[in-house]
Structure 1
Amino acid sequence: MADSDQTVGLIGAGNIARVHVEAWQALGVRVLVHSTAGAGELAAKYGLEVAPTLDGLLAEVDFVDIVTPSATHKEIALAAIKAGRDVICEKPLTLTASDSHELSAAAAAAGVRVYPAHVVRYFPEYVAAHAAVVAGKIGQVAVARFFRQASSPAGAGWYREVARSGGVIMDLMVHDLDQARWICGEVTSVYAVQSPPTVDGISPVNVAAHVTLTHEGGAISNLRATWGATGTPFKTGFSIAGSAGVLEYTSDKDTGYAEELQGEGGKGDLLIPSSTLYESPYLTQLREFAAALKTGDEPRVVAADGAAAVYLAEAARESMATGRSVDMTVFNPAGVS
């Protein structure tokens, strides 16, 4: 589907920018890029136009797509909102709940939309799990487990500085915090531990975090995120158990997503898709966002979802700092009203 009447201002030129560019070009959207570094190289590779200044870019585009380091998201998004431009922003939306609140309030006042790019909501396996739970296929969810591991990005650059990256929870686990809330419901308490611990604001290069969420409906979610040694293969998955069945997925297994449901007589039915081939979830996501910006229809993830994931990540960091569970019904980070 071509949308050549739309122009996106891509802000940032790092690795994730390339994935976004390829998706926008597949959609026929004109891409204008601005970045403090790397814009020329990105433009040369993909045949893009370069905007030397942020103000110049904002004057020419219909909306922006922010793919810069996490600590810059708020400032850039607020500039776009001030210019009356809708915003797509890579996760996390901001690094604190108060900043997410400020950004959302500014967007509402300006009448523009903010869509956080929580791309896992567009991976077919997670979409299928969400649909199965909503449809009651496994009954009431009791226990869910989500995990995500990757080779650590923290050996160099800004990732080790927790003030700039949010650490492994905000940078990596934020995907599964969003999934747990999306699939299992709103969260009432958060407990988190990390090994090794963060010291003086500097994250270990190799680190694992574990977070336990209690949901309003009674379900308990256990989440694990790991920045592993160099060469650690990326792997993610889930197991969601309810009163009438189990949903499972592990990315390194050939079988893909599976449902094990209670059939008549207590027999379990194992359903495995015949093919796990699908288009890039980034393409699916950006197509939905672009369509929503044109039609006004609401996509499956909006600013409030991005803010909620940041809120949970901030609560997890609070729990790690205090050693206590955080009651989400009263947790109120500074600046959030």
Structure 2
Amino acid sequence: MRALAGVADTDFETAKEVAQMYDVEAFDDFQSMIEQARIDGVVVSTPTETHACIVERIANNNEEIRGILIEKPMARTLKDSQKVAALLQKKGIVTLVGHSEIYNPVVERALNLIREGAVGTPQMIIHDRRGFVQPSRIPALGDVFEDIGVHDFDIMSRISSGQARLYAQGSTKNDVMNAGTLMITFKSGAQHFFHLSRQYVGRKRSMDVSGTKGTLTLDLFGQIIKVQDLDQAPSADSRTLSLPERGATIKVYGEPVQQVITDFLHCIETGDKPKVGLEDGIAALEVVEAARRSAQTGKIIDITIQSRHF
């Protein structure tokens, strides 16, 4: 792709190591990189608590910057995300927020199947996202809701929206919530259940969608979707085929992070709106903060989920 112009890291040895891999220049300060490499787009992939201040400095001091990719979450707090969004919109800087799971082709295919009525009206959706994170990294990543939950909160908003009630619980490690469960019940009747953990041996990312006509079972790692009708025997043979045949197992291919970068470069060149933008980042953090309040107080939180585009 040859789009990378430089790498900046406060640990200059790390910057040099990464820069050497891609045959670009290394810097120990992002402002020096912007000025010397003459770039027009920046990827901010730093500890979560630094996202807002770094983006503000870039936007306020560099008129030549046309695009910023902010790694998830957009900021540590909802207030900071709203402040950053207002600045970026004022400056006219195209901004992509790194909810990379939305770029997973299996998620895109599943959302299209739901929109096309493959399972009828979605009623119960189970989101399961578990893995292991070294304890030393947890302070930089924040709690489990902001770190990994934002992916599934974004997916949820593209399936269900409107008034809802949220209840969350969690367990902490070194005073940071490292595992949690959430239930969000919509006034429409749809329910979303989330199992989030960074203290699980192995990796698990899956989603089950139960609707009025059938079910979708997604393996987000294997990029496989299984589609079954409610009146179909669970043991029915499955083949790799296209809907609307019954018992379909659909294999989807594509690298989500590559899709993120491709979309970012396209939006810088064209000015188009990215698949995951500022509004999506803010919406996900609204759920994050509601989940935090619920887990900390033990109370059910009323929340309104805005519908996001497919």
Query: What TM-score, normalized to structure 1?
Result: 0.79
Query: Which digits, 9 at most, give the CA deviation of each residue in 1:191-210, with x for residues without a partner?
Result: 1001x3467xx126xx4310
Distance apart, 1:106 and its partner CA: 0.5
Structure 2 residue 146 is the aligned partner of structure 1 residue 170: yes
- The correspondence for 2:113, drawn from 107, 129, 132, is 132
Paired residue for 1:71?
A: 49
Q: Which runs of 5+ in 2 are unaligned?
A: 237-244, 306-310
Query: Which digits, 9 at most, give the CA deviation of each residue in 1:229-263, with x for residues without a partner?
Result: 5xx111100001111111111357x7921111358
Are 2:145 and 2:288, in contact at CA under 8 Å, matched by a contact in 1?
Answer: yes
- The correspondence for 1:213, drawn from 181, 184, 192, is 184
User: Structure 1 residues 170 and 130 mapped into 2: Cα distance closer, same or farther (>3 Å)?
Assistant: same
* Paired AA for residue 114 in structure 2: V
Higher mean Cα deviation, 32-41 or 210-219? 210-219
User: Structure 1 residues 41 and 211 mapped into 2: Cα distance closer, same or farther (>3 Å)?
Assistant: same
Q: Mapping of 1:9-28 within 5 angstroms? A: 27-28=1-2
Identity %: 24
DSSP-derived class of the 1:279 partner: coil
Q: Mapping of 1:1-337 within 5 angstroms? A: 27-37=1-11, 38-59=14-35, 60-82=38-60, 83-84=62-63, 85=65, 86-153=67-134, 155-157=135-137, 159=138, 161=139, 164-186=140-162, 188-194=164-170, 196-197=171-172, 202-203=175-176, 207-215=178-186, 217-229=188-200, 232-251=201-220, 256-261=224-229, 269-273=246-250, 275-276=251-252, 278-329=253-304
User: Structure 1 residues 127 and 255 mapped into 2: Cα distance closer, same or farther (>3 Å)?
Assistant: closer
Are 1:142 and 1:219, in contact at CA under 8 Å, matched by a contact in 2?
Answer: yes
Q: Which runs of 5+ in 1 are unaligned?
A: 1-26, 331-337
* Paired AA for residue 136 in structure 2: A
Distance apart, 1:58 and its partner CA: 2.5
Distance apart, 1:51 and its partner CA: 3.1
Higher relative strand content: 2
DSSP-derived class of the 1:121 partner: helix
Query: What TM-score, normalized to structure 2?
Result: 0.85
Are 1:181 and 1:187, in contact at CA under 8 Å, matched by a contact in 2?
Answer: no
Length, aligned pairs only: 287
* Paired AA for residue 66 in structure 1: V
Name the Cα RMSD after superposition: 2.4
Higher mean Cα deviation, 100-109 or 286-295? 286-295
Distance apart, 1:121 and its partner CA: 0.7
In 2, the alpha carbon distance for the partners of 1:30 and 1:175 equals: 26
